[in-house]
Structure formats: structure tokens, C-alpha cells
Amino acid sequence: MRRTGWRKTPDLSGRMEWQYANDPLAMTWTVKAIDRSVAYWTAHFSPFVIIPLMIFIGTFFYGVNLFTWLALFWMAVGIFLYVKIGLERTVFVYRATNEHLEVCQWQDIPDLVFTFLRVFPFIIVGIILMSVISNPGLSIAALVGPALVGILIASMGADSNYKKIYKDLEHNAYRWDEVADALLDTHHGLIHLRWPYELPPDVAAQVDNPEQYNRQGSPLYFRKDQESRVIELVSSKLPMSVSLENGRYEYDFSS
């Protein structure tokens, strides 16, 4: 299982309200996981880091100028977005009873990230001032792009709704006897379960092929020390017609 290096995690466990809290408890466990394709996001953001890095190195040794500072700025933005989007962890809390599986999850984003979003514009101002000092004849138009990015990032960091979206608690509940298929992926450290799912009529009317959405899936992540207990639990709860298949789970390109 993959993990990032964030040290402080927002604890939302006090807000978890189990729907089937009175059902006999079979097992509960907590895990942090990157529930997305790291390889995809690494390839996606690599140009935004490598190209500015090459420009920065090239201009730094041949005379610091506007392009040096702009390259450093865009490289910092690319690295921040890669860590924020590509390496962001999710906290999963699972509660299994004899009949149900409940999942609570929230984004593992420290408050430091949102503080950085508010401070980042001041860093941009410093870069702009250094650029003007090093080249007094610099065109203001060349600095408009970084300034606008700084304003946008500042507005995101100060927006309470943006913070709420990324730190909100999500809760789902499923029945064991309705599991349609199960995939064990020890490489990613998860069991992917799927249940029959029917799109709401108003949503199905807007989809070309609603049949492709007839399954609703949920990953059951586990650490290595939890693996045997989770596999044993799931195997004992699956319907007789469903077996736990070994394979490799494929993340959606955007997840």
C-alpha cells in the first residue's frame, strides 16, 4: 500500500455515526491509502516540473533573468499540485457487522496545506519584486500571469467551502449478501467489492449507456498487518455464488 509523508491528519472520527451501530460487530479497522493512480498523476505532472527545471538551470548559469524566476515559480506550482492531487491520502474507517459493511472516509489534508494556499501569493509577490529589481525595464504584462495565479490560489485558500469540500466526511453502507463480485489485489493492498446499482431515472436519461453503471464498487484497503484478518473476514461474508478472485485493480485515470 502506498503512503505519503504527511504527519498531521485531521481527525473526523468523532463525526462518524454508524448506521448499524447496534448490529453485532465482526471487525473494524482504519487505514490511510492513496486511492488513485500514482503513475498516472506522476506522468501528468512531470512536464510541469521537468520543463521549468530545465529552463531554471539553463538561465541560472547564463545569467539570472525573468525566465529564471518564472521557471522557479511554475516548478513550485507543479510540485505543489502533484503532492496535493497525486499523492493525497484518504483515511478509511471500516466497520463490518454480520450483515453490513460501513465505510467512512475523508481526505488526509493537514491544515498546513490551506495555510500555504493563503501564504503562497506573498511568495509570488516576492518573485515579482525580485524580477523587477533585476530587470527594471521589465514589461508589466509579463508578470500578469503569475500575479493572476497568485490571486486564484489565495482565493481558494481563503474559501471555507473549498476547505469543506476536501475535508468533508463521506459515509456509505452496504449489505454483504448483495455483493456481486470481489477482487483481491495484494499489490495495492485492497479488496474491491461491487454491488448491483441502478442509476436514478433522471441521471439514467442523460447517460448513453446506463447499463455500464450497473455496478457500484468500494475498495477495502488494508495494511500488511491487517491483510490476513481482512481477507478471512470478507471470504466468510461473501455470498455462496461469489468467490474472492486474485487480480490487479485498475484505477480510473482521474481517480
Question: Which residue in 202, 226, 223, 204 sits closest to 214, CA to CA?
Answer: 204
Contact at 8 Å (CB) between 108 and 10? yes
107: Cβ contacts below 8 Å, ≥ 6 apart? 88, 89, 90, 91, 166, 167
* Greatest distance between any 2 Cα atoms in the chain: 77
- Per-residue pLDDT at 99: 94
- Per-residue pLDDT at 196: 82
- Per-residue pLDDT at 4: 36
- Per-residue pLDDT at 254: 47
- Per-residue pLDDT at 128: 62
- Per-residue pLDDT at 106: 84
**Identity (one letter) of the amino acid at 223?**
R
- Per-residue pLDDT at 151: 59
Give the Å distances, CA to CA, from 185 to 78, 173, 249.
31, 22, 6
- Per-residue pLDDT at 58: 75
- Per-residue pLDDT at 53: 81
Q: What is the C-alpha R_g of the chain? A: 23
pTM of the entire predicted model: 0.68
pLDDT (tens digit per residue) in 26-43: 999 999 888 888 888 888
Contact at 8 Å (CB) between 88 and 108? yes
Residue ranges in the chain modelled with pLDDT below 50? 1-8, 254-255
- Per-residue pLDDT at 26: 93
Over the chain, what HEC string results? Answer: CCCCCCCCCCCCHHHCCCCCCCCCEEEEEEEEECCCCHHHHHHHHHHHHHHHHHHHHHHHHCCCCHHHHHHHHHHHHHHHHHHHHHCCEEEEEEEEECCEEEEEEEEECCHHHHHHHHHHHHHHHHHHHHHHHHCCCCCCHHHHHHHHHHHHHHHHHHCHHHHHHHHCCEEEEEEHHHCCEEEEECCCCEEEEEEECCCCHHHHCCCCCHHHHCEEEEEEECCHHHHHHHHHHHHHHCCCCCCEEECCCCCCCCC
The owner of cell 484518504 is 90
Distance CA 200, CA 210 (A): 10
